[in-house]
Amino acid sequence: MTQAPARPKAARRRHDREIVLLAVPAFGALVAEPLFVMADSAIVGHLGTAQLAGLGVASALLVTAVSVFVFLAYATTAAVARRVGAGDLPAAIRQGIDGIWLALLLGAAVMAAVLPTAPALVNLFGASETAAPYATTYLRISALGIPAMLIVLAATGVLRGLQDTRTPLYVAVAGFVANGILNVVLVYGAGLGIAGSAWGTVIAQCGMAMVYLGVVLRGARRHGASLRPDVAGIRASAQAGAPLLVRTLSLRAILMITTAVAARLGDSDIAAHQIILSLWSLLAFALDAIAIAGQAIIGRYLGAGDAQGARDVCRRMVEWGVAVGVLLGMLVVLARPVFLSLFTSDAAVKDAALPALVIVALSQPICGIVFVLDGVLMGAGDGPYLAWAMLVTLAVFTPAALLVPVLGGGLTALWATMTLMMTVRMLTLWLRSRSGRWVVTGAAR
């Protein structure tokens, strides 16, 4: 058996440089996004408990309504990156414009659905009688910004596909600052209360969308790309995004099942679970940044017809995922006591969380591989496989998680099932990456 030739160090350094240049700004932009809600919470919290509770319900609904359409960023990134690799920038930008038109149409539809049903949605989420009016007010006003939010997702995908993650970082930071200033001015200066917070968020999101549209429009003019809606192009964007929507909904279902099971374990366990879930989400941002780099780089290599280059950078990104996962796992183990003290002084909550956090730490290298390969296959436009793999994962995870309270397991056992879920994802993604069927070159898959 002959040994494969070693990869040149120069190639590895080139891959490392590409990954860092794309992943670091992407991480900053990802972290900036949840700061919107945190800023709103900090400002609205001083208005009263009912207002803060209303904001909590409305924000959960709003985030759910928008996050299911994250495929607008993922699918657009892959499609644009392929055309960049093929050297056809006008087609790349045209592809991105199709994605933005799709985002506008979906955003208008979601807004139209949320506005009249806001009170019913708030009641469905179990808001109290005192919090419900505030939640309804915030949700109805914020719904006006949903089209802008989805445009931001699609336009972010365009820029990532163009190998630009710095502009999304700058826009996200500027949007966060503007949101904070507008909230203070409208909530307290203008005396609008929670309505002022909602209007501040809408204005900030619309401003971000306008900046993104300005960047895309400049690119379209420079390369002579048409701005008119193209039915065939919009339909193609929707078809590419549909499997990723299935993937996202399956993942959301897993997280909802996990929280529902944790709630059955008792008050201390659900409190500990929420703390752990917040940390798990933060760790996911670091790993997702590498995945975003993978989407952009893999799409570009495949678009350029460089199948071997795509395989090499995939291998290198997996190494990055494992290394970052090991580092994050070590940090979790070392920082457990300090981290928990930031959220609670309840000894019962800490006792429930400490061993579960060990499971989270041990799973981080697995998570690193999953996020990276997920990004690689997205960049390759392998959405249908990702959808089926996620449905298989959901089918394996659901009975395992539901058995936890039946068998008398606690929070540690529940997070062990989360590790099982990530392991199943890793195996399905690894098998696909090993098969090479994702390596389809050309400007379009």
- Tell me the pLDDT of the chain (445 aa) as tens digits: 344 444 567 778 888 898 988 998 998 888 777 777 777 777 887 788 888 888 888 887 888 888 889 999 999 999 999 999 999 999 999 999 999 999 999 999 999 999 999 999 888 877 778 888 999 999 999 999 999 999 999 999 999 999 999 999 999 999 989 999 999 999 999 899 999 999 999 999 999 999 999 999 999 999 988 899 899 999 999 999 999 999 999 998 998 898 888 888 887 888 888 888 888 888 888 899 999 999 999 999 999 999 999 999 999 999 999 999 999 999 999 988 887 887 777 788 888 889 999 999 999 999 999 999 999 999 999 999 999 999 999 999 999 999 999 998 899 999 999 999 999 999 999 999 999 999 999 888 7
How far is Cα 103 from Cα 150, in angstroms, rounded to an integer? Answer: 5
How far is Cα 340 from Cα 173, in angstroms, rounded to an integer? Answer: 28
The dihedral over CA atoms of 148, 150, 156, 161, expressed in degrees to the nearest 10, equals -140
Q: Where are the beta strands (DSSP E) in 282-371?
A: none
For the chain, the farthest-separated pair of C-alpha atoms sits apart, in whole angstroms, at: 76
How far is Cα 48 from Cα 51, in angstroms, rounded to an integer? Answer: 5
CA torsion through residues 51, 56, 60, 62, sign = positive
How far is Cα 100 from Cα 326, in angstroms, rounded to an integer? Answer: 37
- Residue among 80, 114, 112 at smallest CA distance from 97: 80
Structural contact between residues 205 and 111, judged by C-beta atoms closer than 8 angstroms: no
Residue found by looking up tokens 């690799």 in the block: 85
How far is Cα 211 from Cα 230, in angstroms, rounded to an integer? Answer: 23
Phi-psi region of 305 (alpha: psi -120 to 50; beta: other; left: phi over 0): left
Extract the tokens encoding 302: 């495949």
Q: What would you report as the CA-atom Rg of the chain, rounded to the nearest whole angstrom?
A: 22
Structural contact between residues 22 and 292, judged by C-beta atoms closer than 8 angstroms: yes
Through-space distance between the first and last CA atoms of the chain, rounded to whole angstroms: 34
- Residue among 101, 105, 108 at smallest CA distance from 225: 101
> Could you tell me which residues come within 8 angstroms of residue 385 by beta carbon, excluding any fewer than 6 positions away?
377, 432, 437, 438
Structural contact between residues 37 and 52, judged by C-beta atoms closer than 8 angstroms: no
Q: What angle do CA 343, 348, 353 make, to 5 degrees?
A: 60
Does pTM surpass 0.75?
yes
